[in-house]
Chain A
Amino acid sequence: MSELKNKCIITVATTGAWPKKENNPNVPMTPDEICEDIYACWKVGAAVAHIHMRDNDGNGTMDKGLFAETVSLLKERHPDCDVIINMTTSGDLFATDETRQIHLKELRPEMASYDCGSMNWLNSGLFLNSPPFLEELGKNLLAWKVKPEIECFDPGMIYNAQYYLKKGILEGPLHFQFCMGCANGIAGSMKNLVFMKETMDAACPGSTWSCFGVGRSAMEILYGAVAMGGHVRVGMEDNVLYSKGVLAENNAQFVSRATRVIEEYGRSVATPDEARQILSLA
């Protein structure tokens, strides 16, 4: 494992649930666009692809057919691509508990998001991840052998993860994704990143972690994660701007920048197989 300690996993979140073509015309939204985008990102260093689907109006959807189509296209067109697929369970605020999971049961991706608590959403609504849902999802992910990515928008969610770990709903070692700089969540800053990481170490020792910053904190968190030995997430789900006022041309641009940052720091980018070892994937 020691040779893996210097590796940094890049997760690309290509699409998310919010940006539309008017936010950035380059955001991939159809299964075809997402498939090709994932492949392009894999070629420049992404080991994990976190995917969301969109309906015909461009809104977030949990339509399992779209997830299936995207993965199928990737396999057919690019059989050389061994990227780890990480499917969202939170692509539609109004999805039922069932539709947030059925695609995982049927498609059995290697990873899926596990948003470990509820919060206000965009100062206008609620992002609900109820205790019954989290218990059911946790048990299902264990049964289906899908590795949860514990998304935490604030430190309270880390303690929620600890609770589920102690109850056996989640199984260690856990993998966290610190989602920073989102409205209604913890602000993105180095001070907060250190706090999240130290909270995780105390509550769930032995965990791996990744992180990203939305908006102004994106680069600060990217550099901080690399320096602290963590892993990183980039992509248009979280940021449509490459720099202030400059739209990203594509997600591969974000991944390439992360690769440069990682390598110039003195670490190296993890391949998907190395990521599987680091994350203890089945």
Chain B
Amino acid sequence: MTWGPYYFFYICSKCGKRYRWILDDMSEADFSNCPECHIPGELVGETRDIGKEENKYAQNSFADFEYI
């Protein structure tokens, strides 16, 4: 049994972009950075949060968070 890729989901505090980083890239220097602003984003969720009511972004499985 596997459970798919694991993502961290971010929102950029500067431009508001919603994006996701796959944890395969955790060792990358720019991990967590906004692809537009190149600054670290605010972590608003992760894969394990999908479906959890307490996370408002997780309700649609973070579908609108762009793949990096």
Contact = CB atoms under 8 A, between A and B. Distances in A.
Interface of A: 13, 16-19, 22-23, 52, 60, 88, 90-91, 113, 115, 121-124, 127, 179, 181-183, 187-188, 214-217, 237-240, 244-245
Interface residues of B, number: 18
B31 to A, nearest CB: 12
B24 A124 contact: no
Interface in B19-45: 22-25
B68 to A, nearest CB: 9
Given A18-B2, A245-B67, 12 more contacts: A13-B2, A22-B61, A91-B1, A121-B3, A122-B3, A123-B46, A123-B47, A183-B3, A183-B6, A188-B24, A214-B4, A237-B2
Given A215-B24, A216-B22, A60 B1 contact: yes
Contact of B4 (A115, A121, A123, A240): A240
A123 B6 contact: yes
Contacts of A60: 1
B9 to A, nearest CB: 14
- Looking at chain A's contact residues, the main secondary structure is loop
A217 B26 CA distance: 13
Contacts of B66: 245
B1 A19 contact: no
Contacts of B48: 122-124
A214 B5 contact: yes
Instruction: Tell me which of B4, B23, B60, B67 has the highest count of chain A C-beta atoms within 10 A of its own C-beta.
Output: B4
Nearest to A22: B61
Nearest to A13: B2
